[in-house]
Amino acid sequence: MKRHEAASQPIFRSSARAGCFVLLLAAALAGACGGSVGKTPSIGSESHFLAHCEASCEGGLDCIGGICTRPCLTEQSSCSDLAAAASCTNQSVEPGEVAVCDLSCAGSADCRVLGSSFTCQAGFCRQPAETDAVSSTLADAGARQEGPLSSPGPECEAFQDQVPPPDMRAISILNAGSVPLYIFPVFLDCDAPTSLVQVERDGKAVNTLGIGELGPSCEQVRNLEGSSPTPSERALCKMAPALRIDPGQTLEQPVGLEVVEQQLPLSCAKPTYTGSRACFSRVIPQPGTYTLTIHAALSNECAPRGVCLCDLEGQCNTSDPPLVFSFPSPWYFQNQELRISAPMD
């Protein structure tokens, strides 16, 4: 088993004002102190912004290029009342000809503010014609046909979940100090398990938690089943509490597969299908320049200043300023021991 000592003295992170510290995998939720979490400006439950349309739209929007939006003047109009990150662009619908309010994206996670059925398509957030994310995409591609599923060809093998080696690999966390510590879990969403270790490769977060609410797996799409739950179908959940680790105690956590977003050709589901579908696959993480980080504190008791561990209902538990232990590693997917301890005054 490979052992790691903290690369440097644990870093105290505190703020001159009451700070909120939310451990999320890919992005930090905007936190409001005093026991509540600030919410991103909402587009409202009645908004149809960027929804699929054929002729007309509700809510004062126009059906332009098959989406519900409104015309605008670039560099003069603001679209933030429709969505916080929306902007006026002439590159999404009839590029160079028509300027509309739109929401650009680098991946489907950027579109979740609009609803779970929205995905990133050609750099902009779009919703399928129906709320069922998988069946509607197939319908748009003219894919509702009878017949057996296709046998996976070589070009489709990359979209199958990889099978990890039979030997169990785990990260061990040892409290090598003389006082108890409380480890804050890394949180992705309600459906994905938490982790005691935040994983980064080349300075970017790596999702080793699971698919959770991100969307259907590529295997589901290939089998023409499964869809993303809508917010109304999903109960609010609470983040896991801080986990105590006593002096000399070791906590062990199995390593997880990496979740990656892909564009699955629908021909992998049926040879007659066209187009592609955003989905997620589980793969074995590759060696690289990794940083494994553990966030902890000396206490999990509430304090007026310090860490703010918030759940989706806006409830926060605060504690003393956090300790951040970072460990460089050439690989995540291996047995290794991370030794943490509280700094001595």
Q: How far apart are CA 176 and CA 342, in angstroms?
A: 9
The two structure tokens encoding residue 176? 């090598």
How many other C-beta atoms can be found within 10 angstroms of the C-beta atom of residue 168? Answer: 10
Q: How far apart are CA 189 and CA 231, in angstroms?
A: 12
pLDDT at 13: 34
pLDDT single digits (tens) 78-134: 788 888 888 888 888 877 788 899 988 877 778 878 877 788 887 788 876 543 444
Q: Which residues in the chain land under pLDDT 70?
A: 1-2, 5-47, 128-154, 225-239, 301-321, 345
The predicted model scores a pTM of 0.57
Residue 188, phi then psi, degrees to nearest 5: -105, -60
- Looking at the DSSP bridge assignments, the partners of residue 251 are 173
How far is C-alpha 188 from the geometric centre of its chain's CA atoms? 6
pLDDT at 305: 43
Q: Please check whether residue 217 is in contact with residue 279, taking contact to mean a CB–CB distance below 8 angstroms.
A: yes
How far is C-alpha 280 from the geometric centre of its chain's CA atoms? 11
Any idea what DSSP says for residue 17?
S
pLDDT at 31: 34
Q: How far apart are CA 222 and CA 269, in angstroms?
A: 4
| Cα distances (angstroms) measured from residue 136 to each of 21, 67, 227 | 38, 15, 10
**Domain spans, the chain:** 2-41+158-340
